[in-house]
Amino acid sequence: MAHGNNSNEKVVYVGDSRVRKRETVNSIPPDYTSFPGRSEAFIPNFLLKEWMVGCVVLVGFLVLTIAEPPPLGYPADPTNSAFIPMPDWYFLFLYQLLKYPWVSGSYVPLGVMGVPGVAFGSLLLAPFLDTGKERRFYRRPIATTLMLLSLVSCYYLTKVSWDHYQHELEITNTVPEHIEREEKAREAAASGEEPPSATKPKEDVALVDADNAGVKTIMEKAKCMTCHGTDLKGQAGAKIPSLHGVGDLLDKAQLTEIVTNGKGGMPAFKDTLSAEEIDTLTTWLAKQKAAQ
């Protein structure tokens, strides 16, 4: 053994380890009792109180998660051109900043490097920029003012960005996908059905009486295929519905109303098509039901 408990050695170790055998206890740092004021021990006195605060926070947090389920929209579809992008809320100030003309386009280096670089750089290096001994914020007017200004501008940018998003939702008449989905699930639950699955693609419904020459002529005249597609399956990305199985969703009267007066992004066809043509068309559309 390299280091026996030989009392002649200057340093005595525990066994053959490098832990020195202690003779006295004075190597222990001072505990809280040697500090002045009403200090208290971390364990157990303070930790117990801290745990109580922690429990209150945890209960509040769990109530939030139960009351407000996490949002989930529809599966990512890169061809979806109508989706309004929305970063998480704590990136909104940066997102909004980059929309201003003086930090975008040819000035974009200023927007992505300059402004955030100076802001985050000075925040990172704050102790080396504000080197005075004074700690009270009201005696440090420059540091305090700069911080308050940054806070106000972050708040302002976030608010503008959020209002802009809400406005965009309104003018495009869009319901955010996770809300739409939740709504549909709730409706399905209320009527006692299975909630609609967003993962399984809908089964393809074949067209009924697909070779009807009269209908084909009318459709070519009205240019239905331009939007609903040559296969009449619509464009999911642009929220243009498929006409396959449309008879399951709408009856003839509703179809006539939509074709005659339009709906959402679809134009009215009362000037393009005659009443008989619309009648022929909607009779055919109403027949588009899934095979039983």
Give whichever of 76 and 291 is closer to other proteins, judged by the CB atom: 76
Give whichever of 147 and 222 is closer to other proteins, judged by the CB atom: 147
d(C-alpha 143, C-alpha 129), whole Å: 9
Give the footprint of other proteins on residues 1-60 (CB under 8 A).
Answer: 14-15, 17, 19-20, 22, 27-29, 31-32, 35, 37-43, 45-47, 49-50, 53-54, 57-58
Least distance from other proteins to the Cβ atom of residue 168, Å: 13
Give the footprint of other proteins on residues 256-285 (CB under 8 A).
Answer: none
Helix (H) or strand (E) holding 36: none
66 is a site residue for other proteins (CB under 8 A): yes
* Token representation of residue 205: 């419904």
Can you name the residues that pair with 266 across neighbouring β-strands? 263
Contact status, residue 291 vs residue 245, Cβ threshold 8 Å: no
89 is a site residue for other proteins (CB under 8 A): yes
The contact pattern for other proteins, residues 171-210, with x = CB under 8 A and - = no contact, is -----xxx----------------x--xx-----------
* Token representation of residue 44: 């157990």
142 is a site residue for other proteins (CB under 8 A): no
Contact status, residue 161 vs residue 95, Cβ threshold 8 Å: yes
Among 4, 5, 9, 87, indicate the residue that binds other proteins (CB under 8 A): 87
Give the residue carrying structure tokens 């022929």: 280
90 is a site residue for other proteins (CB under 8 A): yes
Among 10, 102, 128, 209, indicate the residue that binds other proteins (CB under 8 A): 128
Least distance from other proteins to the Cβ atom of residue 127, Å: 4
* Token representation of residue 125: 């290096």
Terminal-to-terminal C-alpha distance of the chain: 89
Burial (Cβ within 10 Å: 0-12, 13-18, ≥19) of residue 3 = middle
99 is a site residue for other proteins (CB under 8 A): no
The contact pattern for other proteins, residues 147-166, with x = CB under 8 A and - = no contact, is x-------------------
15: phi > 0 → left, psi -120 to 50 → alpha, else beta; which? left
